Chain A
Amino acid sequence: MANMNMIQALNSAMDIMLGRDPSVVLLGEDIGYFGGVFRATEGLQRKYGEHRVLDTPIAEGGIVAAAIGMGVNGLRPVAEIQFADYIYPGMDQIASELARIRYRSAGEFFAPVTIRTPCGGGIRGGQTHSQSPEAIFTHVSGLKVVMPSNPHDAKGLLITSIEDDDPVIFFEPKRLYNGPFDGDPNKPAVPWSAHPKGQVNEGYYTVPLGKADVVRRGAQVTVVTYGTMVFVALAAAAALGLDAEVIDLRSLVPLDVDTICTSVKKTGRCVVAHEATRFSGFGAEILALLQEQCFWDLEAPIQRVAGWDTPYPHAFEWEYFPGQERVKKALSLVMEAA
């Protein structure tokens, strides 16, 4: 075991897969010689060569399309889109092509592409370096959607994603790259080395997709969350002295319906929290699911915690971010209801 932050854990996952499987290639803007703007691919071009770790032109549509072509021709590409905010030029290739090649060719062609992309705010990135667009991709049939919240999961989930024969959109909450974050920007930053999930196996291991992690067992209320909001939710529940069960989804597609429903049937109360905007957000899918499967077990209306339905504003980052206050408000509401 070694101390790793999330960047090092992701680097380790790609290092191991490049070493194990000669069909794995990495491609993206600035990822080769430079090692990526967040350093996730540092040293990998030097170690595996320029033909395995490719710098690309600044063309997200081209990156995704080229990855598809490589995938169809037997490679296992891991593409990096430098920021999730810049994924949209690749949208046609992702939604109309990558997601459907297996379907439209009756299973004869497929492209095992993983697209890694940093998402989320809290780094003073303004509207073009802060977005959380995961729900858009969960709405496209044929894509798997993953978002880890810690180094241990990040590495295991990325290895699983790379090995998966279906396309995976792998979101990396960049605020968590260096340490867990409880939503309070004024507190000193906590490094991953001070957290158990920063202890990472240096070798090969996998974390399955579609298996949520119950990060805290509890009896009073269920909090369903993922990514940046996991530690915010834990802190908010603790601040209220609630015995909350906190579920980190880890992957949105496939979704671990059993873990969510089992918990809500037990607690009878639920808050769903994500950093992304609320309207048509992924929380709406969870609420619909719980309404279908747990309606008679609910003691109170389910509450959603989310970013406001505006672009991510530079000057009002912390008024925008769904911090502990917003989670506490939602928890209080579900606990108050009869």
Chain B
Amino acid sequence: MSNPTRLHLPAPPARPGEVPDFSYVHLSPAGAVSRPEIGARARDLGSLSTELVRVLDDAGVAVGPWHPHLDPTELQVGLRHMLLTRIFDERMQRTQRAGKISFYIRSLGEEAVSVAQCMALRPGDMLFPSYRNQGLHITRGIPLVELMNQLLSNTHDMCKGRQLPVMYHSKAGNIFSISGNLATQFPQAVGWAMAAAIKREDHVAASWIGEGSSAEADFHHALLFASVYQAPVILNVVNNQWAISTFQGYAGGEQRSFAARGPGYGIAGIRVDGNDFLAVYAVTQWAAERARIGAGPTLIEHVTYRAAAHSTSDDPARYRAKDDAEHWPLGDPIERLKQHLIALGEWSQERHAALSAELDALVAASWKEAVTHGTMTEGPRLDADLMFEDVFKEMPEHLLRQRELMRAERGAK
């Protein structure tokens, strides 16, 4: 069809049947980006928001000023959390396909973001996740059984059956309740951080959204409030290139990096290789320290790739090249950390296989335990009375009445 208009319509680099092309992703060599002083003013951070902070080079060697010099045992913990996240995801995906849970969202290929960031933060720091940050819960040590109970909406579900699968929370673990509505948590994290500053506490808040969700007004509210009050907050845009079927160009990524929106608001912006565990850890440590000393907020763009479907309701073969993920220039976060540890002499294929088997067994055993608390179709069920609780702190008269009606209705069946 002829095209007489001047409207620009972003087009992804490859549709189904076409050859994947990631030449649009601006890369910097590992170790090439300088590391500013933690207290540097946002206006003095140079090209930090447009370059790409990377630590691991192609041979798996850690290089440059952002090298966090972590102890190998810490790296092994990171590898374990990432691998557990992936194995958990795979198993839950199959469970959904088998009809045992109604819905699931994997974080395949993005595990380093949640795991490295959580490890670089303190337990008292408050997390405001999106629905693709299960690595935060795993790294904070939330037992898999608790996550599975939520997925099953069973009698031990932390949400008491009210939320769609993956919308976890952990009051004790300082992880906020996940919303199905996009980007709402971003400005809420800023408010939490403002409260920490008002109360003179040195806790930091961190929040995550996808690059697609950065289109919502709440993204801009978050940046504006963070800038005005210089709130101790880390705002993360996980740029996994795809928002269901629309690629990052439809969130404005064609013209400028997402990290570059930080400087536009007077906030430090850093663009980091989201599949490089060490780089993600290092920039998070930098941003957290910056927030803690009162030097202000940081916007971090994690350049990564959504290697799986958006959710179990999605089929990416309809809108992107099938082998896209294999061509992604920044590789796989687990493979890269594994390679690094092997290069350090601190890991081996054998140990990796053994760990994988151990985590497989852990996931299987956790599932076995979770289903004893009920599934959607079998075993004990939550009491339907719970539906009426927590709408308000005290149940008002009209809900008490409706609860009676509901009980009678169930009795009548």
Show the binding face of A for B, using Cβ within 8 Å: 29-30, 33-34, 37, 48-51, 54-62, 85-86, 88-89, 124-129, 278-279, 308-311, 313-316, 319-320, 325-326, 329
Q: In whole angstroms, what is the CA distance A34 to B165 when docked?
A: 25
A-chain residues with CB within 8 Å of residue B167 when the two chains form the complex: 126
Q: In whole angstroms, what is the CA distance A40 to B81 when docked?
A: 40
**B216 near A308: Cβ-Cβ < 8 Å:** no
**B398 near A279: Cβ-Cβ < 8 Å:** yes
Which chain B residues in 258-294 approach chain A with CB under 8 Å? none
A123 to chain B, nearest CB (A): 9
User: Is B102 among interface residues, defined by CB-CB distance under 8 A?
Assistant: yes
**B251 near A58: Cβ-Cβ < 8 Å:** yes
**Contact flag A89-B216 (CB < 8 Å), given A54-B9, A313-B162, A314-B102:** yes
A-chain residues with CB within 8 Å of residue B244 when the two chains form the complex: 29-30, 34, 37
Instruction: Report 15 cross-chain contacts, Cβ distance below 8 Å, ordered by A residue.
Output: A29-B246, A30-B244, A33-B319, A51-B3, A51-B7, A56-B250, A57-B215, A58-B213, A86-B181, A86-B182, A89-B218, A126-B163, A127-B163, A129-B164, A313-B161
A-chain residues with CB within 8 Å of residue B405 when the two chains form the complex: 326, 329
B-chain residues with CB within 8 Å of residue A309 when the two chains form the complex: 391, 398-399, 402
**B391 near A310: Cβ-Cβ < 8 Å:** yes
Identity of the chain B residue whose Cβ is nearest the Cβ of A306 in the assembled complex = B402
Q: Is the interface of B mostly helix, strand, loop or mixed?
A: loop
Flag B385-397 by CB within 8 Å of A: 1 or 0 each: 0111001000000
User: Is B354 among interface residues, defined by CB-CB distance under 8 A?
Assistant: no
Q: In whole angstroms, what is the CA distance A139 to B284 when docked?
A: 47
Partner of B157, one of A88, A127, A315: A315
Q: In whole angstroms, what is the CA distance A37 to B315 when docked?
A: 10
B148 to chain A, nearest CB (A): 14
Q: In whole angstroms, what is the CA distance A76 to B187 when docked?
A: 34
User: Is B406 among interface residues, defined by CB-CB distance under 8 A?
Assistant: yes
| Known interface pairs A29-B246, A49-B3, A315-B381; 15 further A-B residue pairs with C-beta atoms within 8 A, sorted by A's residue number | A33-B15, A34-B318, A37-B313, A58-B213, A58-B246, A61-B216, A86-B182, A129-B180, A309-B399, A310-B387, A310-B399, A314-B165, A316-B387, A319-B410, A326-B405
A284 to chain B, nearest CB (A): 13
A-chain residues with CB within 8 Å of residue B410 when the two chains form the complex: 319
Identity of the chain A residue whose Cβ is nearest the Cβ of B211 in the assembled complex = A58
B-chain residues with CB within 8 Å of residue A86 when the two chains form the complex: 181-182
Partner of B409, one of A61, A88, A125, A325: A325
B30 to chain A, nearest CB (A): 32
User: Is B225 among interface residues, defined by CB-CB distance under 8 A?
Assistant: no
B-chain residues with CB within 8 Å of residue A315 when the two chains form the complex: 153, 157, 160-162, 376, 381-382
User: Is B5 among interface residues, defined by CB-CB distance under 8 A?
Assistant: yes
**A319 near B406: Cβ-Cβ < 8 Å:** yes
Interface size on B, residues (CB 8 A): 57
Partner of A314, one of B164, B217, B318, B398: B164
**B9 near A58: Cβ-Cβ < 8 Å:** no
Q: In whole angstroms, what is the CA distance A124 to B314 when docked?
A: 16
A-chain residues with CB within 8 Å of residue B153 when the two chains form the complex: 314-315
Identity of the chain A residue whose Cβ is nearest the Cβ of B315 in the assembled complex = A34
**B413 near A325: Cβ-Cβ < 8 Å:** yes
B-chain residues with CB within 8 Å of residue A34 when the two chains form the complex: 244-246, 318-319
User: Is B33 among interface residues, defined by CB-CB distance under 8 A?
Assistant: no
Which chain B residues in 137-190 approach chain A with CB under 8 Å? 153, 157, 159-165, 167, 179-182
User: Is B296 among interface residues, defined by CB-CB distance under 8 A?
Assistant: no
B379 to chain A, nearest CB (A): 13
B-chain residues with CB within 8 Å of residue A59 when the two chains form the complex: 215-217
Identity of the chain A residue whose Cβ is nearest the Cβ of B155 in the assembled complex = A315
Q: In whole angstroms, what is the CA distance A279 to B163 when docked?
A: 22
**B388 near A55: Cβ-Cβ < 8 Å:** no
**B384 near A319: Cβ-Cβ < 8 Å:** yes
**B161 near A57: Cβ-Cβ < 8 Å:** no
Identity of the chain A residue whose Cβ is nearest the Cβ of B381 in the assembled complex = A315
User: Is B412 among interface residues, defined by CB-CB distance under 8 A?
Assistant: yes
B-chain residues with CB within 8 Å of residue A58 when the two chains form the complex: 182, 212-213, 215-216, 243, 246, 251
A25 to chain B, nearest CB (A): 10
User: Is B68 among interface residues, defined by CB-CB distance under 8 A?
Assistant: no
A-chain residues with CB within 8 Å of residue B213 when the two chains form the complex: 58
Tell which of B9, B103, B387 has the most Cβ of chain A within 10 Å. Answer: B387
A-chain residues with CB within 8 Å of residue B384 when the two chains form the complex: 316, 319
User: Is B29 among interface residues, defined by CB-CB distance under 8 A?
Assistant: no
Q: In whole angstroms, what is the CA distance A313 to B381 when docked?
A: 14
User: Is B252 among interface residues, defined by CB-CB distance under 8 A?
Assistant: yes
User: Is B1 among interface residues, defined by CB-CB distance under 8 A?
Assistant: yes
Which chain B residues in 1-53 approach chain A with CB under 8 Å? 1, 3, 5, 7, 9, 15
A-chain residues with CB within 8 Å of residue B318 when the two chains form the complex: 34
Q: In whole angstroms, what is the CA distance A239 to B384 when docked?
A: 25
